[in-house]
Each structure stands twice: as structure tokens, then as C-alpha cells.
């Protein structure tokens, strides 16, 4: 090993396998049974996995953008870890979406028509904004740290309630992703709620800014509870969660956090004025995220390093 070149010294040439970055990651679902539950349309199940996977992927990217910008080092580590949990959930869900999509193609009699199944990388790096199915909340840029923790509180409270119900899904893969995700999302919600309380019940200035943040972030969150037709069909089949059923738990948690944070009760949801992210209608903020996230994969198609 040479120490003339710092990078060369860091790379142990006999031990390339230790480097956990770059390409060539193994399938996170390797060995997990791939069957689609009876009576379920694979296209619906694939679309649903994309919805939940894209929520996690896009939110994870927004959290990563806070690393090096958070008020304290400890918060950068927290946001990086929360983003990493969500990225892990996204990998599982996008892998599942690709598998189920392929099962649907084969079930329809078009064997190999589409080539090999789209894997997690193809779904993350090679889709256009209109093919993303995340809720608009996930893609929003944060004006300041108070906006971030307000948005994370909404997102984590809703996702925790969703993943908890997903544990009884008839699809064993979704049920398992839900069970694992509940443990993680519990910490995400706790982190966000802790900051909303700390800022809301802090100084006059922090209170004012925290209140402005919840007033900006919470009213548009009604989209989270609007069921898409895919969600309704799969919920009827015992596979998905009807998001309108999450409203009671969400309202209870938000009301309690606002109370302890000495903030006024949560403002009502505003009527939807923008298109639904679940249908692929997104704002320029998602385009900005994808430009950043997909740049290398699109510049060097099929590149490995």
C-alpha cells in the first residue's frame, strides 16, 4: 500500500469488496418470495409499490440536502440517518415494483417482451418526473429548518400510521416492509416532534417561525389522505391501506404536538389546488431533485464504477 497518494492509500486493492458505494449492489430482496397474491392485478400492485417507494426516495433526497446545512452536527447525523432509513425502504419498494411489473408482463403472455425486469436503479434513475408517484409534500423544498421539521412531522406521522396498517397486508413483502418501517418511522416522528416542541415552546422568535412553518406546511397535506383508485382497489383486496383511514391518528398526533409546543391547533386542510402527485403531476421542485439525482446515471448510461 502506497501512502504517496491519499486516495490510493485509502483503497486497499486486495479488498475492493469492502467499499459500499458505487454500482453493483445486490438486490435487497434477494431470496424474498416474489409471488403476487391471488386476485391482485400486478399492475396495481406495482403502481402502489412505486407510490410508497417514491415517497421515501424523494423525501430521502430532500433530507440529504440538509446534510452540511443543519444547525448542529447532531442534526445532520439525525437527518442523514432518517434519509438512509427512507432510502432503504425505497430500495425494497422499488425492487418489489420492478418484480411485480415483470410478473404482470409475463402473466399477460408477453414473455420477455420488455426485456429483464426494471430494477431499483432503473426505476430511480431513468424515470421522468411524470412517472413519479410520490405525494407533493415529499418534493417540497424547505425554506428553513422549521419548515423542514414541520414537513417531517407531517410526513413521518402519516407514514408511520400507514406502515403500521401495512403490516396486515395480504402481500407478505409489503407486510414485512411495513413491520420494519414502523420501527424506523417511530424514531423519525419522535425526532420531528421533538424539534417542533423545542422551537414552538422556545423563544418568541423560534415560536413565530415555527408557527409560520406549520401554517405553510400543514394545510396542503390533505393530499396525503385522498385515496387514489389504485389504493382503493388494493385496499378492498386486503393489500393496501386506504389513506383516508389514517386521518384520525394523524389528527390526534398533530393536535398533541401542537398543544405541547404551545402552537395554535393545526390549521384545516385547504382544498386541493394542485394536481395529484399520485397521478404524476408534480411541480418544478421534483424536476430539480431528479436533475440532481439522475444526472450521472443519465450522462453515463449503464456506467459502472
114 three-state secondary structure: coil
H or E element, residue 127? none
Q: Which is nearer to other proteins, 132 or 191 (CB)?
A: 191
Pattern 63-92, binding to other proteins, x per CB under 8 A? -----------x--xx-xxx-xxxxxx-xx
Is 184 a binding residue for other proteins by CB under 8 A? The answer is: yes
CA dihedral 255, 148, 293, 274 (to 10 degrees): 60
Closer by beta carbon to other proteins, 85 or else 139: 85
31-40 LR contacts (CB < 8 Å, sep 24+): 32/173, 32/176, 33/172, 33/173, 34/99, 34/100, 34/103, 34/173, 36/100, 36/103, 36/104, 36/171, 37/170, 37/171, 37/237, 37/239, 39/237, 40/170, 40/171, 40/234, 40/237, 40/239
Among 2, 5, 31, 116, binds other proteins (CB under 8 A): 31
Q: Is residue 193 involved in binding other proteins (CB under 8 A)?
A: yes
Q: Binding residue for other proteins (CB under 8 A) from 124, 161, 221, 235?
A: 161
Instruction: Return the range that interacts with other proteins (CB under 8 A); candidates 107-115, 177-185, 210-218, 271-279.
Output: 177-185
Interface residues with other proteins (CB under 8 A)?
17-18, 20, 25-26, 28-32, 74, 77-78, 80-82, 84-89, 91-92, 160-161, 164, 172-173, 175-177, 179-184, 186-187, 189-191, 193-194, 197, 249, 252-253, 256-257, 260
Amino acid at each position: 500500500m502506497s501512502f504517496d497518494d491519499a486516495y490510493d492509500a485509502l483503497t486497499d486493492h486486495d479488498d475492493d469488496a469492502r467499499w459500499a458505494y458505487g454500482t453493483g449492489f445486490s438486490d435487497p430482496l434477494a431470496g424474498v418470495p416474489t409471488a403476487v397474491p391471488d386476485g391482485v392485478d400486478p399492475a396495481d400492485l406495482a403502481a402502489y409499490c412505486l407510490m410508497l417507494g417514491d415517497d421515501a426516495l424523494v423525501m430521502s433526497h430532500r433530507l440529504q440536502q440538509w446534510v452540511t446545512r443543519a444547525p448542529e452536527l447532531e442534526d445532520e447525523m439525525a437527518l442523514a440517518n432518517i434519509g438512509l432509513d427512507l432510502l432503504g425502504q425505497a430500495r425494497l419498494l422499488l425492487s418489489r415494483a420492478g418484480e411485480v411489473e415483470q410478473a404482470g408482463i409475463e402473466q399477460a403472455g408477453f414473455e420477455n417482451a420488455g426485456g429483464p425486469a426494471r430494477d431499483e436503479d432503473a426505476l430511480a434513475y431513468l424515470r421522468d418526473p411524470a412517472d413519479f408517484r410520490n405525494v407533493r409534500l415529499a418534493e417540497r423544498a424547505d425554506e428553513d429548518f422549521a419548515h423542514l421539521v414541520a414537513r417531517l412531522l407531517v410526513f413521518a406521522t402519516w407514514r408511520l400510521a400507514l406502515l403500521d396498517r401495512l403490516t396486515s397486508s395480504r402481500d407478505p413483502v409489503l407486510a414485512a416492509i411495513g413491520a420494519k418501517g414502523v420501527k424506523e418511522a417511530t424514531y423519525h416522528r419522535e425526532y420531528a416532534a421533538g424539534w417542533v416542541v423545542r422551537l414552538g415552546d422556545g423563544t418568541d422568535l423560534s415560536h413565530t417561525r415555527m408557527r409560520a412553518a406549520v401554517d405553510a406546511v400543514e394545510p396542503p397535506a390533505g393530499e396525503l389522505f385522498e385515496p387514489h383508485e389504485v389504493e382503493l382497489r388494493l385496499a378492498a383486496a386486503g393489500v393496501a391501506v386506504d389513506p383516508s383511514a389514517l386521518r384520525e391518528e394523524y389528527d390526534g398526533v398533530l393536535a398533541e404536538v401542537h398543544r405541547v409546543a404551545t402552537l395554535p391547533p393545526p390549521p384545516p386542510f385547504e382544498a386541493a389546488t394542485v394536481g395529484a402527485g399520485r397521478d404524476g403531476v408534480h411541480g418544478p421542485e421534483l424536476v430539480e431533485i431528479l436533475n440532481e439525482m439522475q444526472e450521472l446515471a443519465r450522462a453515463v448510461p449503464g456506467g459502472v464504477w
